[in-house]
Amino acid sequence: MKRRGVSLIEMLVAMGMSSMIFILASSILMSMLTANARNRRQEAFEQVKNDLTAELTNAVKWAEDVSYASDQITAGETVYRMDNGHVTRNGSALNSNEVRVTRFEVTEYGPGEDNLSLNIQIDLEDAMNNSVKDTIKIAASKRLTTFEE
């Protein structure tokens, strides 16, 4: 007599092996998605750091008139300050909602009016996961370009 079909044991073994393969594939997929999300957060931090550093350095360097308080910089007609988790330029946010600003502090670094140099410290954190933090420390100086005829 020939045996036809699949026994219960064979079916259970096949289901167990399929489950193991599915769990392994799911685990690999989840680790790839987690790594991708982590990379996106890191890229957002780096982009915000680069944008704020360039913006504030150029503003201080090229403005005709620069003044500051402990929590803001005025470069010509433009005012930079922290507002509701963002560094703002005349009220418009410079950083994305993915990155929250928790500190914006300005102190004088240089000798005074003619050669104003500022230390700017900005603390950042991930808006979704506040255990991810970073700090930007910027030293920006007003240019001293003179033209002689």
- Mean residue pLDDT across the chain: 89
**What is the model's pLDDT at position 142?**
85
Task: Output the pLDDT for position 50.
Answer: 94
Note the pLDDT of residue 42. 85
| pLDDT of amino acid 79 | 97
The reported pTM is: 0.75
Domain ranges for the chain, please list them. 8-141
Distance (Å, rounded) from C-alpha 24 to C-alpha 21?
5
pLDDT at residue 80 in the model: 97
Strand order in the sheet with 86-89: 66-69, 72-75, 78-83, 86-89, 92-93
pLDDT tens digit sequence for 77-133: 999 999 999 999 999 999 999 999 999 999 998 666 667 899 999 999 988 887 889
User: pLDDT band at 12, cuts 50/70/90?
Assistant: very high
